[in-house]
Amino acid sequence: MKLSKRVRQLLPSVTLAASTKAKKLKAEGKDVLNLTVGEPDFATPKNIQQAAIQAITDGKASYYTPSAGIPELRQAVVEMIRREYGLDYEAKNVIVTDGAKYSLYLLFQAMLDIGDEVIIPVPYWVSYGEQVKLAEGTPIFISCLQENDFKVTVDQLEEVRTERTRLMILNSPSNPTGMIYTEDELRAIGNWAVQHDIMIVSDDIYGQLVYNGNTFTPLASVSEDIRRQTIIINGVSKSYAMTGWRIGYTIADEQLINAMNNIASHSTSNPTAVSQYAAVEALNGNQETVEEMRIAFEERLNTIYPKAAALPGFKLTKPQGAFYLFPDISETLTLCGYNNVTDWVDDLLEEAYVALVTGEGFGSENHIRISYASDLAVLEQAIERIAGFIEKKIRENN
Ligand SMILES: *Cc1c(COP(=O)(O)O)cnc(C)c1O
């Protein structure tokens, strides 16, 4: 069968491949510790589950909804943004989609023509570049140094800017690095975007998962000019432990929302009705569980970060948000006698039963990503196994 050029150029998802391998070993009865996952390990809070059950028994979940989402949910997003960002939008500025991932997909489809350029700082979340390519745009990657906390600078942006630059992507707190841009950094980047009329896609999905006194400043809140230049992407997956429900949203100029809605109406029709009612409760209901989960992530980070940072050769910057560690392990590879991260990660899984993701899918081939969305006992055991694996390899290598 001949498949389209569009699909043949897609890269497979490394995170998915890694978790598939881990699951296979687990099915064979091996005691695998899986740190590949990009989702909270908590169950969706009870009040949200209950709202979904209520929507079903009330019969509200049986029917198509407006394709941009039910009015209550668009309004709940408006209220959430007023509460968390201090910004005033209207429901017409909001589209609810099947996860934040589909918001991004619709946005690129709605904004890009062939060859339009999208600047993507590296390391990046795996789907940005592939989605830009699906929209026939051209991803322009900029490598950001760990020495600069993996953040992009205006000088770097200016170096790659062309007449065809339409968008840039900003993900703070970042998956995979966990770093957060400061208000000053955001102002500099935002003013650059305003000056050159480049729209910034602000992927704020980890905005509520920040730790140890670090604060999340939404790009859109920095100034009125910058707000107009910003497309906000967010969703309930990460902060409310709702990855399986598939609810995300975009907040932007009405014209863009309508264009995205047009595509949505011809592709998914609407996000799943029951999930939308659950998301209304997530955004409007009691927010205590969000804080409880945040505290649990913070405790995990503070427990395993020093242990991971002490592993031989690990170069690790302490994350400020999200739920991943992203160490550069090139020195570890040398000590262990490996010449690439992929082989090391493969052997770690096969010999020590710890599953991680290589940095390759995030654009950084010297790094690994360790998710700490697992309970503390698992994390501590995983770090011990990694330490044992490294010691064994160093012995064998000498
Ligand atoms: C998880 C994630 C998303 C998408 O989440 P959805 O489940 O599709 O809402 C978007 N961006 C980043 C950086 C993520 O980690």
Report cis status (omega within 30 of 0) of the bond before 173.
yes
Same domain, residue pair 251 and 301 = no
Q: Report the CATH number at residue 80.
A: 3.40.640.10
- Taking only the tens place, the pLDDT of each residue in 300-311 is 999 999 999 999
Q: Can you give the pTM of this predicted structure?
A: 0.96
Same domain, residue pair 226 and 339 = no
Same domain, residue pair 301 and 276 = no
* Ligand 1 closest atom vs CA 103: 8
According to the model, what pLDDT value does residue 11 have?
81
Residue 94 pairs in a beta bridge with: 251
d(C-alpha 178, C-alpha 26), whole Å: 28
* Ligand 1 closest atom vs CA 322: 15
Same domain, residue pair 232 and 270 = yes
Residue 375 pairs in a beta bridge with: none
C-alpha 124 to ligand 1 mean position (Å) = 12
Mutate to test the pocket of ligand 1, among 16, 19, 97, 101 (most ligand atoms within 8 A of CB): 101
Q: How many CB atoms lie within 10 A of CB 391?
A: 14
Domain boundary among 269, 284, 299: 284
Same domain, residue pair 195 and 307 = no
For tokens 């992530």, the residue is 297
C-alpha 205 to ligand 1 mean position (Å) = 6
Domain boundary among 223, 257, 284: 284
* Ligand 1 closest atom vs CA 125: 13
Cα 28 to Cα 22, 236, 288, 348, 357: the distances in Å are 10, 34, 39, 17, 20
- Taking only the tens place, the pLDDT of each residue in 176-188 is 999 999 999 999 9
C-alpha 246 to ligand 1 mean position (Å) = 10
Tell me, yes or no, whether 397 lies in a domain.
no
Tell me, yes or no, whether 324 lies in a domain.
yes
Which residues in the chain show pLDDT less than 50?
Answer: none
Same domain, residue pair 78 and 151 = yes
Tell me, yes or no, whether 245 lies in a domain.
yes
C-alpha 101 to ligand 1 mean position (Å) = 6
C-alpha 47 to ligand 1 mean position (Å) = 23
* Ligand 1 closest atom vs CA 174: 13
- Ligand 1 pocket list (CB less than 6 A): 38, 99-101, 125, 171, 175, 203, 205, 235, 237-238, 243, 248
Q: How many domains does the chain have?
A: 2
**Spatial contact of 390 and 336, defined as CB atoms under 8 Å apart:** yes
- In residues, how long is the chain? 398
To 10 degrees, the CA torsion angle through 357, 326, 247, 182?
-160
Residue 45 pairs in a beta bridge with: none
> Parallel, antiparallel, or unpaired for β 117-122 and 357-358?
unpaired
Same domain, residue pair 342 and 229 = no
DSSP labels for 191-226? Answer: HHHHHTT-EEEEE-TTTT-B-TT--PPPGGGS-HHH
Same domain, residue pair 33 and 175 = no
Tell me, yes or no, whether 55 lies in a domain.
no
Mutate to test the pocket of ligand 1, among 216, 238, 276 (most ligand atoms within 8 A of CB): 238
User: Which tokens sit at 357?
Assistant: 């993701």
Tell me, yes or no, whether 56 lies in a domain.
no
Helix-, strand-, coil-residue percentages of the chain, each rounded to 5: 50, 15, 35
* Ligand 1 closest atom vs CA 238: 1
For the chain, state the CA radius of gyration.
21
Mean pLDDT across the chain:
96
According to the model, what pLDDT value does residue 19 have?
84
Same domain, residue pair 258 and 343 = no
- In which region does residue 44 sit, left (phi positive, over 0), alpha (psi from -120 to 50) or beta (all else)? beta
Domain boundary among 225, 250, 284: 284
SS (H, E, C) 259-290: HHHHHHHHHCCCCCHHHHHHHHHHHHCCCHHH
Note down the domain range covering 149: 61-284
> Parallel, antiparallel, or unpaired for β 138-143 and 117-122?
parallel
According to the model, what pLDDT value does residue 282 have?
98
Tell me, yes or no, whether 102 lies in a domain.
yes
> Parallel, antiparallel, or unpaired for β 94-97 and 248-251?
antiparallel
Same domain, residue pair 209 and 68 = yes
d(C-alpha 135, C-alpha 108), whole Å: 6
Tell me, yes or no, whether 398 lies in a domain.
no
C-alpha 61 to ligand 1 mean position (Å) = 24
Tell me, yes or no, whether 311 lies in a domain.
yes
DSSP labels for 61-104? Answer: GGS---TT--HHHHHHHHHHHHHHH-----GGGEEEESHHHHHH
Same domain, residue pair 252 and 339 = no
C-alpha 242 to ligand 1 mean position (Å) = 11
Q: Report the CATH number at residue 295.
A: 3.90.1150.10
Residue owning the nearest CA to atom 15 of ligand 1 = 175
Mutate to test the pocket of ligand 1, among 181, 208, 237, 239 (most ligand atoms within 8 A of CB): 237
Same domain, residue pair 293 and 214 = no
